[in-house]
Amino acid sequence: MPPFTLADTTAIQVLMSATQDTRSDFTHKLAPLLHLLYTRFVQCNHMNPMWINGDKILFSCGDMTTIQSHVLRYSGYNVDDRELELSKYGAEAFFNQFQESGNGYKPKVVVGDTGSGFVEAVGVALDTQELAENFNKPNFPLITAKTWVVFDEEAALSSDATKAAEAAVEAELNNLIGILVAASPQTVRFYHMMGWRLLEVVDLSDLAQLEAVIVEALQEPHMPVVVHIRSIERSLESDVSDNTLVDEYHRWGDVPVESDQSVTTSLYTRFAIINASRELAWNHLREGYKAFFPADSAALEEVKRELEECYYDEREQEGGSKEGLTVPLERSSRSTPSRTPRLCAGL
């Protein structure tokens, strides 16, 4: 992979600055992780949220809507200031508002019991695994999508999440990568003993180490992976002072200025264009698949059609539109990320 540049550190600090006043005590600290995932690992086309081979990112911790919405904004989305203000509170209002704003690839906010986001991530990974088993053929790996879930100790230890974690091991979900933050050593060992492969990142400020660990996680052939971020510990909100936040920012350079935002926009928009081209390449593979496996191709097309109806029915009920990015990219043919309503809702 290419070396990290000043643009990377600038983007990270812009994200940290934008999320400093969330109610979560560690949201801003996850800026390096979200930056790295979106610019180097996550395979998704913002122009087409229903790409059947697109990765999914879910959250089961803190106020993660804020940081993800800023990533989307700098990638070219029409996320207005009111939506960003709502997102600071991780509120259901923001989730609904973001759907209504006409942005197709919306942040996934699971509003419900503790651990709901983690449970849904396991379900998404199971559905994706089933799609791969049904449709992948030699020389035609159509379904390679990963499911990413960022979760904390509270979510990890909920009864529903532990059951889902056991199911993930039983199903050998090597397409599921969990990022565990603000967790005790006992919780980390618990997931390792259940059968999850454990990898650890000592400090998120070491981008090279973080990148190497994610690469290793992606190469796991048989089991789900949990990446423990050791440098993020849970603390009381009152313990997070303005001086502490300033110290965090200065680890990445000077306080962001307006020109840094344009640098960040340029970087993230370039990433969006690259991912759009990935789907175009995938579409070429799909055409070859259709020629060699016409019956399976027809079945996959039917899966896509059913999920499109599910997705757009939901959007129309919420008053949303079908448009996404504002950057001038060619829209490819629509496809869906899975064949169940659960994955349809998880876009």
Taking all residues of the chain, what is their mean pLDDT, rounded to a whole number? 76
Range of the domain at 334: 6-345
> Quick one: CA dihedral 337, 341, 343, 345, positive or negative?
positive
Q: Which amino acid appears at position 268 of this protein?
A: Y
> What pLDDT score was predicted for residue 64?
67
Residue 137, C-beta contacts closer than 8 angstroms, at least 6 positions apart: 289, 292, 293, 296
Question: Which has more pLDDT, 265 or 324?
Answer: 265
> What pLDDT score was predicted for residue 251?
61
Domain count, the chain: 1
* Cα–Cα distance for residue pair 13/260, rounded to 1 Å: 9
Q: What is the pLDDT of residues 187-237, one digit of tens each?
A: 999 999 999 999 999 988 899 999 999 999 999 999 999 999 998 876 434
- Is 119 domain-assigned? yes
Tokens describing residue 144: 């390679």
> What pLDDT score was predicted for residue 82?
52
Closest by CA position to 125, among listed 58, 63, 191, 69: 58
DSSP letters for 106-130: ---B--SSTTHHHHHHHHHHHHHHH
* Band (141; pLDDT cuts 50, 70, 90): very high
3 state SS of 200: strand
CATH (domain of 299)? 3.40.50.970
CB 156 within 8 A of CB 180: yes
**Residue 105: pLDDT over 80:** no
Q: What is the pLDDT of residues 279-335, one digit of tens each?
A: 999 999 999 999 999 999 999 999 888 767 765 555 555 444 444 333 322 322 323
**Residue 96: pLDDT over 50:** no
Q: Which amino acid appears at position 266 of this protein?
A: S
> What pLDDT score was predicted for residue 246?
52
- Is 115 domain-assigned? yes
Q: Which own/partner pairs from 237-246 qualify as long-range (CB within 8 Å, at least 24 positions apart)?
A: 237/23, 237/25, 239/25, 240/25, 245/20, 245/28
* Band (143; pLDDT cuts 50, 70, 90): very high
- Is 1 domain-assigned? no
- Is 331 domain-assigned? yes
